[in-house]
Structure 1
Amino acid sequence: MKALLTSSGIKNRSIRDALEGLLGKPIAESHALFIPTAIYPFPGGPGMAWRALSGAGSSPLADLGWKSLGVLELSVLPSIEEAAWVPTVRDADALLVWGGDPLFLAGWMRRSGLTGLLPSLRPEAVYVGVSAGSIAATTTFVETYTEPPHGDERPVSSQEVVFGTPDGDVDRLLVTGRGAGLVDFAVIPHLEHPDHPDASLANAEKWAAHIPAPTYAIDDESAVKVVDGAVEVVSEGQWKLFQP
């Protein structure tokens, strides 16, 4: 399976061209499944999921003009027969994995069976991640939380850290999580974005120091493309590779 890991969707022509190159055909001839699961732990998550699906949000993905688009909600999959959903996933040209909470998403990817299914999907199929959807595709990732994560999505490890932001120091819990292992590097999205003040270049370097793999910090105009293990950054913005 190929991958296109973005910070904020298909934001520019370079990333769109990369997506169609991976698909091997126009988006208008491709069938996609949209996975909104990661957004639900956030206040207003259902509304944000609708905006993402309707194209009312700021991160283009579901509204690109797909030939067909379905919704795959991971949290319901353990309660239904695999025969009802696995063939649909196998037939999809693209899995569009939305942003939100990467620890929550990675947990449901495992519990739903999607993580185990990914390696057996068609080589020409494309995993398209946005923010948490990109983070959760990796083997090991880090994310910051203001409070310890609750429920079944327990991190591999966590530690108290303080990161500087334009508004002053903010206490954060730096959590290390286990992703789907689709790629062997990590991703830090929203580099230097004003709405994500802790994702500064200096903080990204600190986060990357806790990841035992190459780590790509990318802004919203950048994406990481993966074909047969070969990695290429597609960018009209800013990005940086941190080596372990």
Structure 2
Amino acid sequence: MKALLTSSGIKNSSIEKALVDLLGKPIAEADALIVPTAIYPFPGGPGMAYRALTGQGTSPLSGLGWKSLGILELTVLPNIEEEAWVPGVRAADALLFWGGDPLFLAEWMRRSGLTALLPSLRSEAVYVGVSAGSIAASATFVETYTEPPRDMEGRHVSFSTPEGDVDRLLVTGQGAGLVDFAVIPHLENPHHPDASLPNAEKWAAHIPAPTYAIDDETAIKVVDGVAEVVSEGQWKLFQPVTG
């Protein structure tokens, strides 16, 4: 499976070209499924999910002119037969993972069986991530929270406090392992003031893999495990700390 991991969707012509290259055909000839699951833990999540699904969100993804677009809601999948949803996933040209809470998304990817299914999908299929959707594609990731998050059983997830930051908690999570690097999105975005370059460097030090900090004009294109940066903006690669 190929991948296009973005901070904020298909924001410029370079990222759109990368998507078309990965699909191997125009977007208008491609079938996609969008996964809105990650957005629900946020206040106003249902409204934000609606805007994402209808192409009204700030991150261009569903409104790109797909041949067909379906909804893949991960939280319902454990309650229905695989025969009802797996064939649709296998047939899709692109799986579009919306942003939100990466811990929540990664957990439901596992619980739904999607994480286990991803490696068996067609090599031509494309995983397209936005923010949390990109974060959850990695094997190990970090995310900051203002309150200690809980797992599905209501237990607090372990966390640390980033150096010099008394308002944020740093949580390490386990993602799908689709790629062998991690992503920190929204670099230097004024609406994400904690995602500064100095903070990204501190967070990356907690990840045992190369970590790309990318802004909203940047994406990581992955084919056969080889990563390529596609950017009209700012990005930085941090190597894992050793020794």
Q: What's the TM-score, normalizing by structure 1?
A: 0.95
2:181 matches 1:214: no
State whether residues 155 and 178 of structure 1, in contact with CA within 8 Å, keep that contact through their aligned partners in structure 2: no
Tell me the residue number matched to 2:2.
2
2:162 matches 1:161: yes
Tell me the residue number matched to 1:166.
none
Tell me the residue number matched to 1:148.
148
State whether residues 150 and 157 of structure 2, in contact with CA within 8 Å, keep that contact through their aligned partners in structure 1: no
2:191 matches 1:190: no
Tell me the residue number matched to 1:58.
58
Counterpart secondary structure, 2:162: strand
Amino acid of the structure 1 residue aligned with 2:181: F
Amino acid of the structure 2 residue aligned with 1:54: T
Tell me the residue number matched to 1:90.
90
CA distance in 1 between counterparts of 2:32 and 2:132 reads 18
Cα displacement string for residues 119-147 of structure 1 (whole angstroms, at most 9, x for unaligned residues): 00000000000000000000000000111
Q: How many residues align structurally?
A: 239
2:235 matches 1:226: no
Amino acid of the structure 2 residue aligned with 1:68: S
Counterpart secondary structure, 2:159: strand
State whether residues 8 and 130 of structure 2, in contact with CA within 8 Å, keep that contact through their aligned partners in structure 1: yes
State whether residues 158 and 173 of structure 1, in contact with CA within 8 Å, keep that contact through their aligned partners in structure 2: yes
Shift of 1:156: 7.2
Question: Percent identity, aligned pairs only?
Answer: 81
CA distance in 2 between counterparts of 1:67 and 1:155 reads 42
Cα displacement string for residues 150-177 of structure 1 (whole angstroms, at most 9, x for unaligned residues): 23277874212355xxxxx551110000
Amino acid of the structure 2 residue aligned with 1:112: S
Q: What's the TM-score, normalizing by structure 2?
A: 0.96
In 2 relative to 1, CA 146–156 (structure 1 residues): closer, same or farther, beyond 3 Å? closer
Shift of 1:42: 0.1
Tell me the residue number matched to 2:173.
177
CA distance in 1 between counterparts of 2:176 and 2:82 reads 19
Q: Which runs of 5+ in 1 are unaligned?
A: 164-168
State whether residues 105 and 132 of structure 2, in contact with CA within 8 Å, keep that contact through their aligned partners in structure 1: yes
Tell me the residue number matched to 1:105.
105
Amino acid of the structure 2 residue aligned with 1:38: A
Counterpart secondary structure, 2:187: coil
State whether residues 36 and 49 of structure 1, in contact with CA within 8 Å, keep that contact through their aligned partners in structure 2: yes
Cα displacement string for residues 213-232 of structure 1 (whole angstroms, at most 9, x for unaligned residues): 00000000000000001110
Amino acid of the structure 2 residue aligned with 1:5: L
State whether residues 155 and 177 of structure 1, in contact with CA within 8 Å, keep that contact through their aligned partners in structure 2: no
**Structure 1 stretches of at least 4 aligned residues deviating more than 6 Å after TM superposition:** 153-156
Cα displacement string for residues 45-66 of structure 1 (whole angstroms, at most 9, x for unaligned residues): 0000111111212110000000
